[in-house]
Amino acid sequence: MMRAFICAIAFLVLSFGNVQADYDQSKDWFNSLSRNERIRLQFLLVFTGDYAAIVDGAFGPKTYGALMEFQRNREFRRDGVLETEELQILHRDGLDLVKRVGFRTRNDPTAGITLGIPVSLFDPPKKSERGHLWRAFDGSIELETLRVDGQRSDYEALYRRLTSTEDGRTIENKQFRNDFFVVSGTQNGRDFYLRMMRTGADSRGFSLFWQPKHAVFMDRVAIAMSNSLTFFDRSATGRMDAVTSAPALDNAPDSENRLGELSAGSTASTSDETGSSTGSGFFITPDGHVGTNAHVVGNCDNLEVAGYGSAALVASDTTNDLAIIQLDSKKADHFAQFRAKQPIVRGEEVFVLGYPFAQILDNNLNFTYGIVSALAGVSGDIRHFMVSAPVQPGNSGGPVLDRTGAVIGTVLSRLDKLKTLKVAGDLPENVNFAIRGRLMAEFMESLGLAPSYNTVTSIKTPTTIDQEAARYTVQVLCRN
């Protein structure tokens, strides 16, 4: 019995010694990295779901535990030191979620913060009294940036109010410090996460709500957003603008990201050796405004709408790849109408108009037919939907219409065949993408333009749809 007891004690001592050696070795390796590399690594561990703590570039038990958990989940030797192959897999898996949700850093002058936001999950934001409001197209995810005046609610009172269990709210985690507090839980059937920072005159931060079905990735996104939150000088600008693609996540090493290869797709615009290009568009107001893609009109010395004359860029939304240009004549006899509030349905019939292969087809308008084959784009991007109607170079910016003749989308791209062959080993057929029409309508509203909505609910023949849409579908010429 005594011999067994001594052996057990010896085993525990040796085990503790091995654990301590691994911890020290991991710490030495981690601290040998530059501070930016350490912060980047912690952010990537957040996105893989292995780290849920403060991203500060400092080594401690939580960082060590995250490294060990990452290795355990991928069946590597657990020693807290990531070799080259392990680092490549960390970058691949972490950046996969970054790209899926479109994690981008934004300055919000109204709320006075800089924040990482999963922009691919949301429709364009709307300005609110305290910041900006972002909503997913189906309302399942909601984000609000906030600035609460200290005279209306002091910091501690705000914390007490937001941790109360009234109005169906259940608090699961909370942390209070003199400089910030975090609260998370559930409210009215939705998960929520909020973080507020304290300043001398106010409190600033964000609240995030999502339906439980999104928890598999939103838990990670919320932690990443919390760690990206910093102050912003409200006097610098009056607009919310982009800063970087993601905090400390630029310049990834050369590890193959197969999902990223596919997501690039192949834009449906054409160009020639001079750098000039052509695309499609459609009139959206009687004042000669034309909706199209940002990539169609970007970097153009001169814009022209074939048959109508010269035009000028009004505004572009590069995040959603949308742009609006206007004829110099400021006049259009016919313009498109958008579908009102009916959701896009998988399997419904659609029609696509545009000017593909301009040089080959002599700038002829093309009309194709198909169905909505998926309600999201590559990587589940809910701003987009997939159509089976053929799309070719030159179709970019053209309208996608339903059976009543209403616009439900703007042609974006087709899946790149060569990249798909390389990644999937097969050539895709009729895998094409469009941007939801709602985004173009909201883009118009943000510029003070009023979209026209179709009130006709009766189904039209394809011939009638073609004849009507041909009056407002145009070819956009970008000349350099």
Q: How far apart are CA 440 and CA 339, in angstroms?
A: 11
Say what the pLDDT of residue 204 is.
Answer: 93
CATH tag for 263-479 (out of 3.90.1150.10, 2.40.10.120, 1.10.760.10, 3.40.47.10)? 2.40.10.120
Domain range annotation of the chain = 21-98, 102-255, 263-479
Summarize the chain as % helix, strand, coil (round to 5): 30, 30, 40
Q: Which CATH number applies to 102-255: 1.10.760.10, 3.40.1000.10, 1.20.1530.20, 2.40.160.60?
A: 3.40.1000.10
How is domain 21-98 classified at the CATH fold level? Muramoyl-pentapeptide Carboxypeptidase; domain 1 (1.10.101)
Angle at which helices 84-101 and 61-73 cross, to 10°:
90
List Cα–Cα distances, 204 to 70, 82, 167, 465, in angstroms.
33, 37, 23, 50
Looking at residue 298, its pLDDT comes to 80
Angle between helices 2-31 and 61-73 (to 10 degrees): 100
Per-residue pLDDT of the chain (480 residues; tens, 9 = 90+): 445 544 544 444 444 445 666 899 999 999 998 888 888 999 999 999 999 988 888 899 999 999 999 999 989 999 999 999 999 999 988 888 888 888 988 888 889 898 999 998 999 899 888 899 999 988 999 999 999 987 656 888 899 999 988 777 899 999 998 888 999 999 999 999 999 998 878 899 999 999 999 998 999 999 999 999 988 765 444 444 443 334 445 444 333 333 333 333 444 445 444 456 788 999 999 999 999 998 889 878 899 999 999 999 999 888 888 999 999 999 999 999 999 878 899 999 999 999 885 443 446 788 999 999 988 876 677 888 999 888 777 888 999 999 999 999 999 864 443 343 333 333 344 568 899 999 999 999 989 999 999 987 789 999 999 999 999 999 999 877
pLDDT tens for 189-234 read 999 999 999 887 889 999 999 999 999 899 999 999 999 998 876 5
pLDDT at position 311 is 95
